[in-house]
Structure 1
Amino acid sequence: MSLEDKLKYDWYCNVINDSLKPQKAWWKADFDLNGLTDLLITRNTYNGPETVYILDTGNSFELKNLSMGNLYEQCSFAIPNNNKITYYSIKILDRYGNLSKLIKQGLIYKNGSFIEENPDVQRHHILEIEFEMGGSHWINSNTKIEIVSNRDIAWTVTKDDHSHVYSSKLSKEKFKEIIDLLNYIDFENLHDEYNVSYSDAGTTHLKVTYDHLKVKTIRDYGGMGTRGLRKLYDTILALKNQ
């Protein structure tokens, strides 16, 4: 990793960077609240500046990307606010290069990742979660996972027209983790559809039945809808390995 004095944004993003006055390319904070010093670093790469964070876990250091990638963002800017991060970005809206206005988000480290902060979490009674991730144009596979309120879980993996079905029961701790995360990301008020600007991506579907048989469905082409959704997807997919 190398740090340089001048971050190499394009002219448009450089104007935004100057207006935000981030002051420096690296910061110290304690994002995971373990009493140790973590780092937030913006560095130059071949595809332009990107931001990473390094967590001191006590026994090791973990480096993770905070930037979403140059296929998704034209540029981004991260400024710590105590143990949280104010994140600014310009999103790429379509394959023709149209850009969003400057987006400002408050991020908090939760469940092992930075996700959108929700200061007013609403609790819902979750009856069933249906998660399905389809392959891309180049990958002929499909994974479907169903979780019900008694903690039963079933997943179906289909590849090249061959399906395998598995079932199990989640622990109380893992079930609570998923339900708490689902409520924290405010699933009820998320968009019904998300799309990345590039082609040949896979599509993720999420269906939540909750409260008095209300239903929320989300179609997420590219699987990049929100940071909270991405964390939920990863958490659900990881259940296959437990």
Structure 2
Amino acid sequence: MKIYIKVSYIFFCILSCKENNHHINHSEIDQLKSSEDVQSLIRKTDSTFSNYEVKRIKDFRREDFLCKENIALADQLDVSQSFYKTDFDNNGFTDLLVIGDKNNCLGMNNESCSYSPIVLLNFGNRKYALKDISQGFDDYYVPRIKKVNNKNLLEINKSVVKDWEKKTFGEPSKQTLEFKEGEFVEYNSNDKNYIPVQKIEFSTSGCYGTCPVFQLSIDQNRNAHFIAEHFNFSENMESWSENIEGKFHAVIDEKQYENLIGTLQYIDFPNLKDNYAVDWTDDQTVILKITYAGNKVKVIQDYGAQGTYGLKSIYKKLFELRKNQKWKKDEGFN
């Protein structure tokens, strides 16, 4: 009788372990032990990160009071490692949150000014994607993993300057992000938020350089019009012409359209600000106009296109539509 009970107990344990781990898929990330291991994987994954250096926040040494305050904030939040493991996209594979230095610019005294935490997403079979989670140039913050309602979220903690002359700080700001529809966006606990979208209109200005200048509109039946003005097909400054590059129409791919609308609804666009702006010059302005819920209109003007994580995700999707749809030239479109 005792033997039967013992065998039954062992069988139950094995069954329970299988049930508890049936969503866990092992990959090479699970074997990574050191900063050097993680660094090697990142450099192999994306050639633009060939100089990426994985290191702890406290190892960034700059004569910069923002950098020093960021080190103090990391200390306070107990973010002491150079990388952390979790599953951000809930696909059963272990992802990485990595602190590091892209080493692609120099500040004073030849100090690196490219503090660049990233997320490495793992899709299995050695397929990865790198996500830059910085909002802008020289953006200091402390990222860490946060668990909410069984979701692995990304928390961004940032020191807030109270007085620039005195170099004093107020309470740090905090943003919680969820990986949604291919990008990190501000977490919305009401993830069943439904806002009927009738039409999306998007336009961009020029910048000091070759920023694409275009207009794009999409109606609720996925019918789209694209006016390519400048630098949509070439970044060669010599190709500049007063003439626009063309007018096109297409029906947007259903999956990509639903992805775009789903993100808009999730970020609760009617409650976003009407104006955003970065604190540098010579950048591009984008204007997003959304007609929704019985002809209500929301217009967002964003100098630098960095307004929120959610808006950055929307802008990226709209920029990509220029290249990933079956556009037909329409000389008659006004």
Q: Same fold, TM exceeding 0.5?
A: yes
Does residue 136 of structure 1 match 2:207? yes
Which residue number in structure 2 is paired with residue 162 of structure 1? Answer: 243
Q: Aligned partners of 1:175, 1:141: CA distance in 2, in Å?
A: 21
d(CA) in 2 for partners of 1:211, 1:53: 36
Amino acid aligned to 1:171: D
> After superposition, what is the alpha-carbon deviation per residue over 1:148-176, rounded to whole angstroms, capped at 9, x for unaligned?
11211001011233221100112332222
Q: Is the 8 A contact 2:226 2:249 kept in 1?
A: yes
The SS at the match of 1:53 is strand
CA contact (8 A) 1:7 1:49 kept: no
Instruction: Check whether the contact 1:50–1:76 (CA below 8 A) recurs between aligned residues.
Output: no
Q: Paired residue for 1:214, among 292, 296, 305? A: 296
> In the alignment, which of 125, 134, 139 is matched to residue 67 of structure 1?
134
Q: Which has the higher helix share?
A: 2
Structure 1 counterpart of 2:86, from 29, 32, 38:
29
Report the 3-state secondary structure (helix = DSSP H, G, I; strand = E; otherwise coil) of the residue aligned with 2:307: coil
Q: Taking structure 2 as the reference length, what is the TM-score of the superposition? A: 0.65
Contact 2:206 2:284 in 1 (8 A): yes
Q: Which moved more, 1:110-119 or 1:211-220?
A: 110-119
Structure number with the higher strand fraction is 1
Cα drift, residue 69 of structure 1: 3.9
Identity value in percent: 28
Task: Identify which of 126, 136, 142 aligns with 1:77.
Answer: 142
Q: Does 1:54 align with 2:114?
A: no
Tell me how far apart the structure 2 counterparts of residues 21 and 206 of structure 1 sit (CA, whole Å): 39
Q: 1:132 to 1:92 in 2, by over 3 A?
A: farther
Gaps of 5+ in 1: none
Is residue 116 of structure 1 aligned with residue 186 of structure 2?
yes
Please, what is the CA RMSD of the aligned residues?
2.5
CA distance in 1, matches of 2:161, 2:211: 27
- The answer to whether the 8 A contact 2:117-2:134 is kept is yes
TM-score, normalised relative to structure 1: 0.88
Please tell me whether the aligned partners of residues 105 and 116 of structure 1 are also in contact (alpha carbons under 8 angstroms).
yes
Extract unaligned runs of 5+ from structure 2: 1-38, 40-52, 62-66, 104-111, 231-240, 326-334
Change (3 A) 1:98 1:226: farther
Q: Contact 2:70 / 2:142 at 8 angstroms: preserved in 1?
A: no
Q: Say how many residue pairs are matched.
A: 239
Q: Distance in 2 between matches of 1:150 and 1:109?
A: 27
* Bigger relative CO (Cα 8 Å, ≥ 6 apart): 1
The 2-side partners of 1:223 and 1:66 are apart by: 14
Shift of 1:12: 2.2
